[in-house]
Amino acid sequence: MARSKSPIKARLEDWYLRRVPFPTTPYVDPFNADPLRNGSVFARELREAEIEKIRHVILKHGFASMVKPWSWMWAKKKVGGSLGMGKTALLAYVTDQINQDYGKRFFGSAVHWLAVYVPVLPAIKSVQDLAAVALTSVCSQARGTSVERRLLGRLRRKVILLSPPGEYSASVRNTSDSHFMDDKWLIDQGVDLSQLSAGVQKHLREWKVTSAYAQALASGTLQDYLGTVNSDPNLVPPRTALANKALSFLLNDLARAAIAAEIKQVTFFLDDFYYLVRRTPLKDRIELAADLRAFAVTGGASFAAVRENVFSWVAVMHTHTASTFNAAWETADLHKMAPLKLDAESSVVLNQFPVDKGRDLLYQLLLGPCRMRAWLDVFISDPT
């Protein structure tokens, strides 16, 4: 008897594909140059409802004072007949949409927002490590202009607008935000970058940013500075020296710099946050929850980010990991703010895509940077 074709094989033939074009491993590397691996293949129309919930329920229409410091995004996994959940692609997409103009188009008004995509890798073992990876993500240029650079642009703009009349030309004062990030454009306009950097550093010091951090941020060399503290340019996983200082760098210095730049909110999307939970032994998870509470919610005496309500965190949790962390989460009273429950009104649930949605993802792939003859020859049997 002839063996019948599997549904997936039949579907691939319907689409003229020789084999599945997407990665076979569920792990996505957001900093990989290959768009098949880095989450760039994103079909917005498949996630419209989730995007709207992030915009309106999680991020409160762009009203920063209303945003809760912690929210959950759920990866609801099932076996067979499905593709991935697309969580990395969704988080990267929302991050990029917010950062392109500080949230103006995403929210529909000038909200002065920034977003940071943070990959919580399996090697992360503590809240200190998490802070170090968040700092690294702030500096990352893997998806284009870094958050560090965007923050520097806002700081330069602020310093220029505060300067005495005549110190900078009208064309510089009135230019678009993007030009303040562009060293060459500023130099072409006659701006002395060393003088501007000194002005930014002075402005940051007035907001109590530590001297070395202020100098690094003002000169656009924050990653180099973090590498020096780490005694290793490879910041992930961090060495002890950086891990010990990461919380203060992130929750004090970076938060004060954001306030100095008139950024109202910085949202950190913690992809694969469940890795940190799994890495923590059951007996230590109550301590982890307490650390997270201080990190994001109650550390006002210690951390400017908490005291000024300028940071918010959206963490991805797998359904089968949540049950082992819920008791610790409730012990820390964090369930009163962000219930660790799939059906909580504030949670965004990501179900896996059924196989028949693969055509929509493939269409986005062919529209994007992967549209190459060699790629088509490998995967498609009849390009016509």
Give residue 21's pLDDT: 62
Predicted local distance difference test score (pLDDT) of residue 112: 97
Both tokens of 240, joined, read 């002890």
Average pLDDT estimate for 114-130:
93
Can you tell me which residue has the tokens 């100095």? 260
Determine phi and psi for 126, rounding to 5 degrees.
Answer: -160, 170
Contact 291, 248 (CB under 8 A): no
Residue with tokens 């079909």: 43
Does the pLDDT of residue 300 top 90, yes or no?
no
Give 142 or 25, the one with higher predicted confidence. 142
pLDDT in tens, 184-209: 999 999 999 999 999 999 999 999 99
pLDDT on residue 312: 97
The residue among 35, 251, 25, 249 whose CA lies nearest residue 142 is: 35
Lowest model confidence (mean pLDDT) among 25-29, 113-117, 128-132, 275-279: 25-29
Question: What's the pLDDT score for residue 77?
Answer: 65
Q: Are strands 265-271 and 311-318 parallel, antiparallel or unpaired?
A: parallel
Query: Per-residue pLDDT averaged across 40-50, rounded?
Result: 77
Question: Residue 79 has what pLDDT?
Answer: 44
For residue 138, give Cα distances in angstroms to 28, 31, 38, 320.
19, 13, 17, 30
- The neighbouring-strand residues paired with 254 are none
Backbone dihedral angles phi then psi of residue 104, each to the nearest 5 degrees? -65, -50
Q: How confident is the model at residue 236 (pLDDT cuts 50, 70, 90)?
A: confident
pLDDT at 383: 52
Residue 338 Cα to chain centre, angstroms: 19
pLDDT at 41 > cutoff 60: yes
Closest CA to 86 of 339, 266, 345, 271: 271
Assign 346 a pLDDT band (cuts: 50, 70, 90).
confident
Highest mean pLDDT among 119-123, 281-285, 367-371: 281-285
Mean pLDDT of the chain: 86
